[in-house]
Chain A
Amino acid sequence: MNARALVGLVVLIAIVAAVILNQLRDDGEGVRIGFVTTLTGGSAAIGQDMRDAFELALDHMGRTMAGRKVTVLYEDDAQNPDIGLQKTERLVQRDGVQFVTGYIWSNVLLASYRAGIAGGAIVISANAGPSELAGAQCTPNFFSTSWQNDQTPMAMAEVLNKRNLSNVYVLAPNYAAGRNMVAGFKRSFRGTIVAEEYTQWPDHLDFAAELAKIRAANPSAVWFFFPGNYGTQFFKQYAQAGLLAQIPLYSTFSIDTLNLPQIGEMVVGSQLTQHWGADLDVPANRRFVDDFRKKHGRTPSFYAAQAYDSAVLIKSAVEATRGNLQDRDALRTALERANFESVRGAFRFGRNHFPVQSFYVWEVVRGADGAYALKLGDRVFTDHADPYAGDCRMAAAP
């Protein structure tokens, strides 16, 4: 046998041994949670905010649930459905998690949820709310602590209705959530939609061509959905193009506490709809927001609030079943009760496991300290269920 081959063989064995050792884990009694979010790329700030909130929730509960130690494994989906799927699969197969949560993006969630459920876990979306999962593809072991995509833009459309805006130009990225958002907006909006524009996702960041079209169309308002950095980008370019003074701009999920410091000046005075805000006067929320600010020196975003809720929701179920994590049916039944103190105030799950909840108006204001903030306004919807719940025929749990 030649020496090089021997070395090759040894290297191979070492690598394979490392692979196996890598996945040896203590199969103890602990609660294992996988958290799939975006930790790299342009949207990493959102994933970071969610992780910070989830960690804060763990701190609040002493990092135990029903006396059992909690382990959380954070995985980066790189905002890519394929990678999200791979990471979800790894979490359930290799790490044996009982819950997978997180999920910012609807397309990532749609790609991943089946693998999570098939791997024996319960999947809880802390942001994404694609219509498929609320309707035809609803499934017993999936829950959402956020909203269905259509709901928030539906509430926003009511705001525009009140202002009697007639001709609105609509823009959104061409992916699952973008199409849902537009559908939701159109569902409630009573005026005319001048144009409905979808941009390539997620690579498209230069909106010059779209802005030129808006200028030419000269609508009475623009409504758009570009989450996170994409929203920042759109606001900046809209302002640079000199359109801010000409055509009023309305948006959904595009202004949040993460990008407010950068765009506050441009959006002060504008209104948006949401199910939660940092100034919502609920005891659980006060604790969450205060401690988050103390720990991180910034105001949590709605993404963070939803992530916080998902941790507390899981805890409620683990406690209700006295830590019997093997019994997924019992866990599910406990989850369905939503018996926990949500930072948004009380809510219940609809039959499709999406929250039935209220939506309010928030306005961008400049505080006494000069910082921009969101100020709670009127309630738009009360106990609002998403429009797809009727299509959901929840099958008996497998």
Chain B
Amino acid sequence: MNRGVLLLAAALFVLMVAAAPAALLLGMPYLLSLFQKLAILAIAAAGLNLVLGYAGLPAFGHGAFVGIGSYTVGILAAEAADGALASAWLQFPLAALVAGLAAALIGAISLRTRGVAFLMITLAFGQMLYFGAVALERYGGDDGMIIVRASAFGDFTLARGFGSYVFTLAVLAVVLLLMYRVTRSPFGFVLRGAAANERRMLAVGVAVPSYRVGAFALSGAICGVAGVLWANYTAFLSPAPLAWTWSVQLAVMVLLGGAGTLFGPLFGAAAFVLLEEVLTGALQPWRLDWHIVFGPLLLLVVLAAPGGIAGLLGRPQHG
């Protein structure tokens, strides 16, 4: 791991941890909201990174798995006559399971194709799930629906606040640790090796497709967990995360931060969320949208710094 990357990641993390007491002291609940959003997006992006970055597969439908996570919360909350269904002990495993299975299935079908066709078919599956969510009139359909009951571990609720913020940071840390271990495990090596040379990986006896389906499942499950957090964060159930624009945004975060690097998704999510905040404020006097700066910035990153933020901080050592 490159020291610069490590340093920046550590600084970001310290900042996010420090934000909690700071927000309370300074009376800035918005700061907490902002960082919590950042953390949730970083979790989802980290999930996507396994497929997009490490396995090198251009998947553009991962918003759907985040959506599955949030619909798990929304549907259970709506149907919860008592508190049992709103239990986070139930919702997290269920969301991860359903999103993971959906991802495995979609991955297994999509992996029959490659390149741009793969990109499109993953996107198409995402859109199907999106319209499926829109059809759920009982759960708000297109309009979405307020989630009246937050997930809770016993008395510990995930409704917006100090506790849920700290919990989100903990999940982010766990997910990054998981990614650290997985990408350095034999499984992770196979994914990365197959991205570098798929034919050869087959020729040394590795059934690459099954590994990729496995990567899809794991990455979908992580996105599902992010979806549970997102639903609690917004307290609003909406088909929006399933839409293709959300999937593209997640991919943008991964690529902006540095695809196939451990902290890339965190950097990407941070750049996305913080730049939106700063640029929106800075451009307000001219009534300009932050996209007018962010768009060319993305182009610049592609043309001048294809390795993203992590790449800018120095060539990552292998391993």
A and B from one assembly? yes
CA distance A107 to B314 in the complex (A): 47
Given known A-B contacts A15-B275, A22-B278, A93 and B314 have beta carbons under 8 A apart: no
Residues of B within 8 A of A82 (CB): 144, 234, 236, 238, 240
Contact A2 B3 (CB under 8 A): yes
Task: Determine which of B3, B274, B314 lies in contact with A19 in the assembled complex, contact meaning CB atoms within 8 Å.
Answer: B274
Residues of B within 8 A of A201 (CB): 142
10 A-B pairs closest in CB distance: A5-B4, A107-B143, A94-B30, A93-B30, A22-B281, A18-B278, A82-B240, A8-B8, A5-B7, A93-B29
> B6's closest neighbor in chain A, by CB?
A5
Question: What is the minimal beta-carbon distance from B273 to any residue of chain A, in angstroms?
Answer: 9
User: Does A175 sit within 8 A of B, measured CB to CB?
Assistant: yes
Task: Determine which of A90, A115, A175 lies in contact with B143 in the assembled complex, contact meaning CB atoms within 8 Å.
Answer: A175
Contact B33 A89 (CB under 8 A): yes
User: Does A81 sit within 8 A of B, measured CB to CB?
Assistant: yes
8 A/B residue pairs, CB under 8 Å, sorted by A: A1-B3, A5-B5, A5-B7, A15-B274, A19-B277, A81-B144, A82-B236, A110-B144
Task: Determine which of A2, A40, A90 lies in contact with B4 in the assembled complex, contact meaning CB atoms within 8 Å.
Answer: A2
User: Does A12 sit within 8 A of B, measured CB to CB?
Assistant: yes
User: Does B301 sit within 8 A of A, measured CB to CB?
Assistant: no
User: Does A20 sit within 8 A of B, measured CB to CB?
Assistant: yes
Total A-B pairs, Cβ < 8 A: 95
CA distance A8 to B7 in the complex (A): 9
Task: Determine which of A5, A20, A81, A94 lies in contact with B314 in the assembled complex, contact meaning CB atoms within 8 Å.
Answer: A5
Residues in chain B within 8 A of chain A (CB atoms):
3-5, 7-8, 11-12, 15, 26, 28-31, 33-34, 141-144, 146, 234-236, 238, 240, 270, 274-275, 277-278, 281-282, 289, 309, 312-314
Residues of A within 8 A of B313 (CB): 4-5, 8
User: Does A174 sit within 8 A of B, measured CB to CB?
Assistant: yes
Contact A22 B277 (CB under 8 A): yes
Per DSSP, chain B at the interface is helix
Contact B146 A1 (CB under 8 A): no
User: Does A384 sit within 8 A of B, measured CB to CB?
Assistant: no
Contact A114 B235 (CB under 8 A): yes
User: Does A64 sit within 8 A of B, measured CB to CB?
Assistant: no
Question: What is the minimal beta-carbon distance from B19 to any residue of chain A, in angstroms?
Answer: 9
User: Does A9 sit within 8 A of B, measured CB to CB?
Assistant: yes
A46-67 interface mask toward B, CB cutoff 8 Å, 1 = contact, 0 = none? 0000000000000000000000
CA distance A12 to B4 in the complex (A): 13
Residues of A within 8 A of B26 (CB): 20
CA distance A85 to B12 in the complex (A): 27
CA distance A94 to B32 in the complex (A): 10
Question: What is the minimal beta-carbon distance from B225 to any residue of chain A, in angstroms?
Answer: 20
User: Does A16 sit within 8 A of B, measured CB to CB?
Assistant: yes
Per DSSP, chain A at the interface is helix
Residues of A within 8 A of B141 (CB): 174
> B147's closest neighbor in chain A, by CB?
A114
Residues of A within 8 A of B234 (CB): 82, 85
CA distance A175 to B31 in the complex (A): 33
Instruction: Identify which of residues 61-86 in chain A touch chain B, using a CB-to-CB cut-off of 8 Å.
Output: 80-82, 85
Contact B4 A4 (CB under 8 A): yes
User: Does A164 sit within 8 A of B, measured CB to CB?
Assistant: no
Residues of B within 8 A of A89 (CB): 33
User: Does A122 sit within 8 A of B, measured CB to CB?
Assistant: no
Contact B281 A18 (CB under 8 A): yes
Residues of A within 8 A of B238 (CB): 81-82, 111
Q: A9-B8, A19-B278 are in contact. List 10 more A-B contacts (CB 8 A).
A: A5-B314, A9-B11, A12-B15, A12-B270, A22-B277, A107-B143, A107-B144, A110-B144, A111-B143, A175-B143
User: Does A23 sit within 8 A of B, measured CB to CB?
Assistant: yes
Contact B3 A5 (CB under 8 A): yes
A169-190 interface mask toward B, CB cutoff 8 Å, 1 = contact, 0 = none? 0000011100000000000000
Question: What is the minimal beta-carbon distance from B172 to any residue of chain A, in angstroms?
Answer: 17
> B237's closest neighbor in chain A, by CB?
A111
CA distance A80 to B239 in the complex (A): 11
CA distance A2 to B1 in the complex (A): 14
Given known A-B contacts A23-B28, A111-B236, A114-B235, A81 and B143 have beta carbons under 8 A apart: yes
Question: What is the minimal beta-carbon distance from A37 to any residue of chain B, in angstroms?
Answer: 14
CA distance A239 to B29 in the complex (A): 53
Contact B142 A174 (CB under 8 A): yes
CA distance A40 to B3 in the complex (A): 44
Question: What is the minimal beta-carbon distance from B134 to any residue of chain A, in angstroms?
Answer: 8
> A177's closest neighbor in chain B, by CB?
B143
A1-36 interface mask toward B, CB cutoff 8 Å, 1 = contact, 0 = none? 110110011001001101110110000000000000
Contact B240 A16 (CB under 8 A): no
> A39's closest neighbor in chain B, by CB?
B287
Question: What is the minimal beta-carbon distance from B171 to any residue of chain A, in angstroms?
Answer: 21
Contact A20 B28 (CB under 8 A): yes
Contact A93 B33 (CB under 8 A): yes
Contact B7 A9 (CB under 8 A): yes
CA distance A287 to B138 in the complex (A): 46
Contact A20 B142 (CB under 8 A): no
Contact A111 B144 (CB under 8 A): yes
> A81's closest neighbor in chain B, by CB?
B144
Residues of A within 8 A of B312 (CB): 4, 8
> B282's closest neighbor in chain A, by CB?
A18
CA distance A12 to B8 in the complex (A): 8
Contact B7 A1 (CB under 8 A): yes
Contact B142 A90 (CB under 8 A): no
CA distance A94 to B240 in the complex (A): 24
Question: What is the minimal beta-carbon distance from B301 to any residue of chain A, in angstroms?
Answer: 14
Contact B31 A19 (CB under 8 A): yes
Task: Determine which of B11, B30, B275 lies in contact with A90 in the assembled complex, contact meaning CB atoms within 8 Å.
Answer: B30
Residues of A within 8 A of B274 (CB): 15-16, 19
Residues of B within 8 A of A114 (CB): 146, 235
Residues of B within 8 A of A12 (CB): 8, 11-12, 15, 270
> A40's closest neighbor in chain B, by CB?
B289
Residues of A within 8 A of B143 (CB): 81, 106-107, 110-111, 175-176
CA distance A94 to B31 in the complex (A): 8
Question: What is the minimal beta-carbon distance from B286 to any residue of chain A, in angstroms?
Answer: 14
Among A5, A8, A82, A107, the one with the most B-chain Cβ atoms within 10 Å of its Cβ is A8
> B277's closest neighbor in chain A, by CB?
A19
Residues of B within 8 A of A4 (CB): 4, 312-314
CA distance A201 to B238 in the complex (A): 14
Question: What is the minimal beta-carbon distance from A182 to any residue of chain B, in angstroms?
Answer: 14
Question: What is the minimal beta-carbon distance from B53 to any residue of chain A, in angstroms?
Answer: 19
Given known A-B contacts A12-B11, A111-B143, A23 and B4 have beta carbons under 8 A apart: no
